[in-house]
Structure 1
Amino acid sequence: MSAAYPLSSCIEWQFVEAGDLDARLRAAKAAGFELAEFHLWRDKPVEALATALDETGMRLTSLCVDPRRSIVDPAQREEMVTAVRETIAATAILGKPNLIVASGFRVEGMSEDEHFANAVTALREAADAAEAAGVMLLLEPLNTRLFATMYLVSTKLGLDLIEAVNSPNLRLLYDVWHSAVMGEDMAEVLAGRIHLVEHVQVADMPDRNEPGTGSVDWDQVTRTLRGLGYTGAIGLEYFPTMPMDESLALSQRTLAD
């Protein structure tokens, strides 16, 4: 692919006309992708996906811990860690993809320090399970436009949590769209800590469509990533506005060097 970074198709939202997720994976391969990702797994055909991965040589960059549970609410901590363990076990046949963790919502009456401490405790337990299994967890900051009371909506805070947990198996998923919604300066929030970023996802502003359809300065995004030293893949986590072959071609042009 003629882009600055390897591109990963979000088959949750792309190639939907192909049918089930394993068929979307095959369609992504036929379109030229080597990498793919999706969201929750419990409602997906995991065994059929494993077969499709084996037959196509595709690799999954990431999927989400399922079910989603809070890292800041102590009442959900046991369920959160159990969800991580169950997701690790269930997705091992998919090649041990990176597993995405969101924070959950703020707890009314809880201080900032308590939120942070609870998150570190939960993430430390989850990271212990990930280390034992040889799996990478990705902590993802979201945004308040989609989730008004979500705890983790700051890249800086996400990186602070990762540093506090201090596990080689916990890193950040940096989503350009979530970050842009929150008005962050990408270069500023990632400066000096790009080594903690394992995966990057992209979509254009304002409506989460393909790069090149909105207001994000993609030349600046790719220059910033390159300048900081990011060497991983870029996940195309967007809703296509055109046929997928045209959508992919636009993304490739927009994200090219």
Structure 2
Amino acid sequence: MIRLAANLSMLFNEHDFLDRFAAAAQAGFRGVEYLFPYEHAADTLRAQLDQYGLEQVLFNLPPGDWAAGERGLASLPGREAEFRDSVAEALRYAEALNCPRVHAMAGLLPTDADEATRAAHHATYIDNLRFAAREAARVGREVLIEPINTRDMPGFFLSRQAQAMAVLDEVGEPNLRLQFDLYHCQIMDGDLTRHLERQFPAVGHVQIAGVPERHEPDVGEVYYPALFARLEALGYAGWIGCEYRPAGDTRRGLGWGQEYGLQPQG
């Protein structure tokens, strides 16, 4: 059964952030995700989830200085202590919000990165992910890694599906899994169905958006009904995060989701 989760960092931007929980529930969502929870107290977010009957399904570790352009810490040499602190902070929120998984963003390579620099980032990434996965296992959580396309995020360290699978193998921790974003995969690798089939045992979460504009998933070059059918055939029981930028009013653009269980209220 397809279960759709609203990404509150992108959807319902007609509302202030804390009001998006109510908007998502009224639109028929039962799960939510977003980039970061850290601007709000965990008990404030927990109250929103409880009030509207929502499940927190995903959020990211602290990314460094987001406003200054940083996009994660996991692969950054020299920032290991900060990364470890970010793991502790994320897991504290995950426990408070009963969230089963967190995403560790890899971070950006320097614009002039050579092979030695890439190797240093890779070694740091492996060590940091192994630490994060082991810490998360202590409290029954998963850590996810996500290849992100370099058109939207130039210089992102992890951008290809094959690279992500090699990292998972090298780290070797069972609770380190793949965040499989079909939008990013289509831009960087294509061949979505075959990638999904090959990587399915490693998939811990799925995200969607229309390609190429990152609007509603019923617009663009990707035919999501076929991919949803394949996910169901493979036995996927997790959430599908709707991480797209609505072309207009969020709720008016959700008609595509009614086939997959979105039943608006009111």
User: Normalising by the residue count of structure 2, what TM-score does the alignment of the two structures yield?
Assistant: 0.86
Residue 109 (structure 1) aligns with: 114
Change in Cα spacing, 1:97 to 1:17, as seen in structure 2 (3 Å) is farther
* Counterpart-to-counterpart distance in 1, 2:235 and 2:28: 25
1:235 and 2:241 correspond: yes
Change in Cα spacing, 1:25 to 1:97, as seen in structure 2 (3 Å) is farther
SS in 2 for 1:138: strand
Alpha-carbon displacement from aligned partner over 1:8-31 (angstroms, at most 9, x marks no partner): 00111222333232x211221122
Equivalent of residue 62 in structure 2, options 57, 61, 66: 66
RMSD: 2.2
1:34 and 2:39 correspond: no
Equivalent of residue 7 in structure 1, options 4, 7, 16: 4
Residue 219 (structure 1) aligns with: 225
- Check the 8 A contact 1:65/1:87 in 2, yes or no: yes
Alpha-carbon displacement from aligned partner over 1:48-85 (angstroms, at most 9, x marks no partner): 21111122221011011013443223212221121111
Alpha-carbon displacement from aligned partner over 1:146-174 (angstroms, at most 9, x marks no partner): 22211100122112211221222211111
1:130 and 2:136 correspond: yes
Q: One-letter code of the match for 2:213? A: D
SS in 2 for 1:134: coil
Equivalent of residue 248 in structure 1, options 254, 258, 264: 254
- Check the 8 A contact 1:158/1:172 in 2, yes or no: yes
1:24 and 2:20 correspond: yes
Within 5 Å, which residues of 2 pair with 1:83-232? 83-106=86-109, 108-111=113-116, 113-232=119-238
SS in 1 for 2:79: helix
Residue 69 (structure 2) aligns with: none
* Counterpart-to-counterpart distance in 2, 1:24 and 1:97: 21
The percentage of aligned residue pairs carrying the same residue is 29
Alpha-carbon displacement from aligned partner over 1:146-205 (angstroms, at most 9, x marks no partner): 222111001221122112212222111111111111132123333333121111000001
- Check the 8 A contact 1:222/1:255 in 2, yes or no: no
* Counterpart-to-counterpart distance in 1, 2:41 and 2:128: 29
- Check the 8 A contact 1:219/1:255 in 2, yes or no: no
Q: One-letter code of the match for 1:93? A: A
Equivalent of residue 81 in structure 2, options 78, 91, 105: 78
Residue 68 (structure 2) aligns with: none
Return the offset for 1:253: 4.2
Change in Cα spacing, 1:198 to 1:233, as seen in structure 2 (3 Å) is same
- Check the 8 A contact 1:212/1:254 in 2, yes or no: no
- Check the 8 A contact 2:160/2:189 in 1, yes or no: no
Q: One-letter code of the match for 2:22? A: R
- Check the 8 A contact 1:211/1:254 in 2, yes or no: no
Change in Cα spacing, 1:96 to 1:234, as seen in structure 2 (3 Å) is closer
SS in 1 for 2:11: coil
Residue 44 (structure 2) aligns with: 48
Return the offset for 1:209: 0.6
Change in Cα spacing, 1:37 to 1:223, as seen in structure 2 (3 Å) is same
Structure 1 gap segments, 5+ residues each:
none
* Counterpart-to-counterpart distance in 1, 2:93 and 2:223: 39
* Counterpart-to-counterpart distance in 2, 1:97 and 1:228: 21
User: Normalising by the residue count of structure 1, what TM-score does the alignment of the two structures yield?
Assistant: 0.88
Report how many residues are paired.
252
